[in-house]
Amino acid sequence: MSKENITLANSTSFALAAKVKDYFQLIKFTLSFMVVFSTVVSFLIAPNELHYVRHKIISVLLLFTGGMLITGSANAINQVLEKSTDAMMKRTANRPVASGRMLASEATSFAVITGTIGVFILWYWFNYQCALVGLFSLLLYGFVYTPLKKINSVAVLVGAIPGALPCLIGWVAATGDFSLGGWILFGIQFLWQFPHFWAIAWLAHQDYTTAGFKLLPGDKGPTKFTALQTIIYSSMMIPFGLLPYFSGIIDTGTRGIICTGILFICNLWMVFVSVLLFKNMDLKSARKVMFSSYFYLMIVLLALLFGRV
């Protein structure tokens, strides 16, 4: 192979790798993975009456794929609509659409295609109920939450709905109905998002202010009121952590008791770090709330999976 051909091949490989990296950024892969993880775990926790064991692995793979496509579509829409504001903020300026590496039309086409395929997978392999919830979540995140961020901090409340719907999607995909268990899982993840997101907004307050986003509960930025709200929502997570045991979602024997104990400890820890934020009012404490919330969700979901009936 000539030097010219080698150079051309290397250049093509580099361009392809760069394009793949851009698409990973477009769908916010890490965030999407966490979202879809809660969908899959909720599916596995639910009584899988509609999926025989031999089909369960295939179902999990398809649910993961469909969920990633829908979530990725919502994140792509978000980046198209916020390309100007993303370009203003240090943490988002290098995103593919904001930086100009990807045209908004390309990202929009990607969002339409992936969203359509994702909803179709849920509809065809599982049921129309979970597909409609997935579509509703996509539209609510992309076209309601995203523009609302510049208008009022109620956007956090609105955004918490599509943020928690993955749990309901997983439950409905398994059962075909909107029974109590799905709503309990939805409630746990819904409440979790408030301390999680307010900690992020606390850390990124300067960037968000520059972009015109109103995401903290108070108008004056990171204040005692914001920290107090974080404590309140973290405290509300404690009774919700008991519901899986008393509603029969998880085993009522030893495994269920262990699971409930883990949830109780995790919820107490979230209250503790939120109190520290109220006491110290600094970035270090906000960062502790943020990282604790990441670990919280992973540990709680795995504990619920361990304790399932």
pLDDT per residue as tens, the chain (309 positions): 565 555 555 566 667 788 889 899 999 988 899 989 999 999 999 987 555 544 778 899 999 999 999 999 999 999 999 999 988 888 888 999 999 999 999 999 999 999 999 999 999 999 999 999 999 999 999 999 999 999 988 999 999 999 999 999 999 999 999 999 999 999 999 999 999 999 999 999 888 888 888 888 877 779 999 999 999 999 999 999 999 999 999 988 999 999 999 999 999 999 999 999 999 999 999 999 999 999 999 999 999 999 987
Sign of CA pseudo-dihedral 48, 52, 54, 56 = negative
For 68-121, write each residue's pLDDT tens digit: 999 999 999 999 999 999 888 888 889 999 999 999 999 999 999 999 999 999
Provide φ and ψ at 275, rounded to 5°. Answer: -65, -40
Question: What's the one-letter identity of residue 262?
Answer: I
Residues 6+ apart with CB under 8 A from 125: 59, 62, 63, 66
Residues 6+ apart with CB under 8 A from 120: 131
pTM of the model: 0.91
Residues of the chain with CATH 1.10.357.140: 24-176
Structure tokens, 112: 């339409």
Question: Is 24-176 assigned to CATH 3.30.420.40?
Answer: no
Residues of the chain with CATH 1.20.120: 179-309
Using a pLDDT cut of 90, give the percent of the chain over it: 73
Q: Which pLDDT score is estimated for 53?
A: 46
Do residues 162 and 140 make contact, with C-beta atoms less than 8 angstroms apart? yes
Could you count the other beta carbons within 10 Å of the beta carbon of residue 124?
A: 12
Q: Which pLDDT score is estimated for 16?
A: 79
Structure tokens, 187: 């409630």
The CATH number fitting domain 179-309, selected from 1.10.357, 1.20.120, 2.30.30, 1.10.10: 1.20.120
